[in-house]
Amino acid sequence: MKKIIAILSALALTLALCSCDKKKSDSEPPETEEVTTEAVTEEDDEPAYRELTDEDFSRIEMKLNTLDSPPPVELNCTDLSGVDFGKRMSPCKAEDVRDDYVSRTYSDDPEIQAQIEAKLKKICETPSEGKISEIAVLGDKFYFGVNYDDVDSLHDSALFRFDPVTLEYEEINSRSGLDIGGCYFGLTAIGDKLYFHDNHNEAFDSYVYSIAPETGEITEFAHVDFSINHIYGDGDRMGVFGLKQREGENGYESLRKFYNAKTGAELTQDEYEDMAQYTEEEVMHMSYCDGEPCVISGGYDNESGTYSPVTIKTQYYTLNTDFKQYSTINVWKDRVCIITNEGLAYGGSETRLYTYDLKKMERTMVKLNGFNSWSDKAGDGFFLTSNNSNWGKEEYRLYYYMPDIGTAFLLETSEGMYNTQIIGTNNYIFVMKPLEHADQYFYTGNIWSIPEKMYWFDKSE
């Protein structure tokens, strides 16, 4: 595939420590007493491996602290609102093929149908602005899969390398054509390369490709006879997970293969046995503790429709909990944070955060009412979001929560951003501002977001 390398102008953007100087609305959790921000001293000796249960921890109920000041950590913020990936015309908009690719609504009313056709014609004659669809981090660079297909979201894309310090970015690869099956689906870093998968139009026929991060050169890595859902990397090994329809039966079966990411050779059972302990569900929700996979089992089982107690197993400990459901789990060497959304009477819900402190042997609980149950680990804490209605206006907030001091620090507040996306990866988090989807007749692809801000930690932290 021909490479297209275009060095774009560096953005005149501000890179600085994030600060917030905003007032809280009445719907925000109340601020309580001042908190201490002294760092916890790490023990020099490695702790002995422990088997723990809920009964080993004293239980404490606490009130959540929230502050409008910046968190006392080296959390950096980059304004991405000026990022411009240019415009391109996807090949599926061509007049002789658009009927095969453009989803449309039909109306029995001739006047409305004429409006629909006019809007369709305008969409197909207008180049699409590039929008970030996939994000990966390799070394100290970001890699953005940028989608230019606002009709079918599959047939025109490019890969950009971005430097979060200098704010320079350049296109290192481009993929365009009716035979292209997606915008760098599942873009991920494994070892020293990037990988993505492409599900072709043929039933259950998929490919994995590798990308050289410096040149953008694409090489076919593996071909499988099932539809790929997820690629998972463990050091220099790769797991490919997917589905295939059962022959002569209704339903699908889960399939997976394992490879040496350096050589491309398929691994033997002995070589991937420890990787194969993870189900696809566990891989998709994998947590890490000091860089090592953390196995989280239990909770709700989709196949059986049953619940079982949640267990967290790291290289330092196994924690057997009483919980049978959870929203997110964040894990550290000496701390586990579990966010649950627990149903109440009359169809309501209550979001709660449980923190297991393995040094103090305490399990604290704080209510997160008004917060979403999503969280994303970064550094020694994690990000939280909330959506609140304030006098008829939808207000979106982003917080950084530090479990060692039990405090959520408000990073930013925005109005009218109900569908704001948060994408977190490797100590980086992206705030993706939604585009207004003004067209009521067409669903034009999956790329409704533009980059707004990026919060990130240095790798050394």
Q: Concatenated DSSP letters for 215-277?
A: T--EEEEEEESSEEEEEEEETTEEEEEEEEEPTTSSSEEEEEEEEETTT-PBPPHHHHTTTTT
Instruction: Give the pair of three-digit tokens for residue 336.
Output: 């586990």
Give the C-alpha separation, 134 to 146, whole Å: 7
Give the C-alpha separation, 272 to 307, whole Å: 29
User: What pLDDT does 20 receive?
Assistant: 36
430 CB burial (10 A radius; 0-12, 13-18, 19+): buried
Confidence of residue 216 (pLDDT cuts 50, 70, 90): very high
Q: Is the pLDDT of residue 432 over 80?
A: no
In a domain, 101, yes or no: yes
In a domain, 8, yes or no: no
User: What pLDDT does 279 receive?
Assistant: 64
Asked if residue 244 lies in contact with residue 225, where contact means CB atoms within 8 angstroms, the answer is: yes
Give the C-alpha separation, 41 to 35, whole Å: 17
Top pLDDT among 51 and 396 is at: 51
Largest CA distance in the chain: 77
Q: Is the pLDDT of residue 388 over 50?
A: yes
User: What pLDDT does 323 receive?
Assistant: 92
Average pLDDT over residues 342-365: 80
User: What pLDDT does 390 receive?
Assistant: 60
Instruction: Give the pair of three-digit tokens for residue 278.
Output: 């993870």
User: What pLDDT does 349 receive?
Assistant: 62
Confidence of residue 61 (pLDDT cuts 50, 70, 90): very high
In a domain, 335, yes or no: yes
In a domain, 199, yes or no: yes
Instruction: Give the pair of three-digit tokens for residue 316.
Output: 């330092």
Q: Which domain holds residue 397?
A: 19-456
User: What pLDDT does 69 receive?
Assistant: 87
Top pLDDT among 130 and 158 is at: 158
Asked if residue 92 lies in contact with residue 150, where contact means CB atoms within 8 angstroms, the answer is: no
Instruction: Give the pair of three-digit tokens for residue 141.
Output: 């660079």
Asked if residue 280 lies in contact with residue 303, where contact means CB atoms within 8 angstroms, the answer is: no
Q: What is the pLDDT of residues 255-274, one digit of tens each?
A: 888 899 988 899 887 777 66
Q: Is the pLDDT of residue 173 over 90?
A: yes
Lowest mean pLDDT among 41-45, 66-70, 142-146, 210-214: 41-45
Q: Is the pLDDT of residue 427 over 70?
A: no
User: What pLDDT does 392 receive?
Assistant: 59
Give the C-alpha separation, 20 to 321, whole Å: 37
Asked if residue 330 lies in contact with residue 319, where contact means CB atoms within 8 angstroms, the answer is: no
| CATH, residue 318 | 2.130.10
In a domain, 238, yes or no: yes
In a domain, 461, yes or no: no
Q: Is the pLDDT of residue 218 over 70?
A: yes
Asked if residue 188 lies in contact with residue 199, where contact means CB atoms within 8 angstroms, the answer is: no
Instruction: Give the pair of three-digit tokens for residue 105.
Output: 């609504």
Q: Is the pLDDT of residue 293 over 80?
A: no
User: What pLDDT does 278 receive?
Assistant: 64
Give the C-alpha separation, 235 to 18, whole Å: 33
In a domain, 3, yes or no: no
Average pLDDT over residues 232-248: 81
User: What pLDDT does 25 receive?
Assistant: 39
Q: What is the pLDDT of residues 6-15, one digit of tens each?
A: 322 322 233 2
Lowest mean pLDDT among 139-143, 370-374, 399-403: 370-374
Q: Is the pLDDT of residue 437 over 60?
A: no
Instruction: Give the pair of three-digit tokens for residue 113.
Output: 């149908």
Average pLDDT over residues 389-418: 77
Top pLDDT among 14 and 320 is at: 320
User: What pLDDT does 270 receive?
Assistant: 74
Give the C-alpha separation, 48 to 433, whole Å: 45
Q: What is the pLDDT of residues 74-98, one digit of tens each?
A: 877 777 777 788 999 999 999 898 8
Q: Is the pLDDT of residue 4 over 50?
A: no
Give the C-alpha separation, 404 to 332, whole Å: 11
Average pLDDT over residues 293-308: 80
Average pLDDT, the chain: 76
Q: Is the pLDDT of residue 56 over 80?
A: yes
Confidence of residue 35 (pLDDT cuts 50, 70, 90): very low
φ, ψ (nearest 5 deg) of residue 5: -115, 115
Confidence of residue 446 (pLDDT cuts 50, 70, 90): very low
- Domain count along the chain: 1
Give the C-alpha separation, 278 to 295, whole Å: 8
Q: Is the pLDDT of residue 209 over 70?
A: yes
In a domain, 2, yes or no: no
Q: Residue with structure tokens 């275009």?
A: 6
Q: What global pTM score does this model have? A: 0.69
User: What pLDDT does 454 receive?
Assistant: 73
